[in-house]
Amino acid sequence: MSELYEVPVRTLDGGETTLAPFEGKVLLVVNTASQCGFTPQYEGLEALQREYGARGFSVLGFPCNQFGAQEPGDAEEIATFCSTTYGVSFPMFEKVDVNGPDTHPLYRLLKGEAKGILGSESIKWNFTKFLVSRSGEVVSRHAPSDTPTSLRGKIEALLG
């Protein structure tokens, strides 16, 4: 089992779990925010979830308030925003830090496996995306400006 599936995470409603239920799926892990210029990407992320979910794919959303304080809400506010504004059906998790001394262990692992520009591990902004294979390998990292639609070919290749 990949180390990725053993990382403890909390669901948006506060439940303790790991990513083990997602073992064997292609994953797109995204740090999200409700008040960001990239927030409309929720629509594209949900479209990917609906298109590929039955084939073993899942988007995993991790709200983050580290960039311009663009995710100030509590868990209930985030859940309401995601469901009413974008009809989000993919799993959303507890708000996390993706940089700094309190970086969530999942993001420490993702950043170590797929570095950014010039080898940087730092996440630059909301809606940075990590694509993970069925075996738990971090395949690629994508900038906030990379739209969910632009990742279709890579997702389809991983789904086989």
Pair type for strands 26-32 and 129-132: antiparallel
- In the set 4, 29, 36, 82, the catalytic residue is 36
Q: Which residues contact 140 (CB under 8 A, 6 or more apart)?
A: 114, 130, 131, 154
CB 126, CB 25: distance < 8 Å: no
Q: Is 36 a catalytic residue?
A: yes
DSSP string, 30-85: EEE-TTSTTTTHHHHHHHHHHHHGGGTEEEEEEE--TTTT---S-HHHHHHHHHHH
12 token code pair: 């948006």
CB 97, CB 66: distance < 8 Å: yes
Give the residue numbers annotated as catalytic, written as ranges: 36
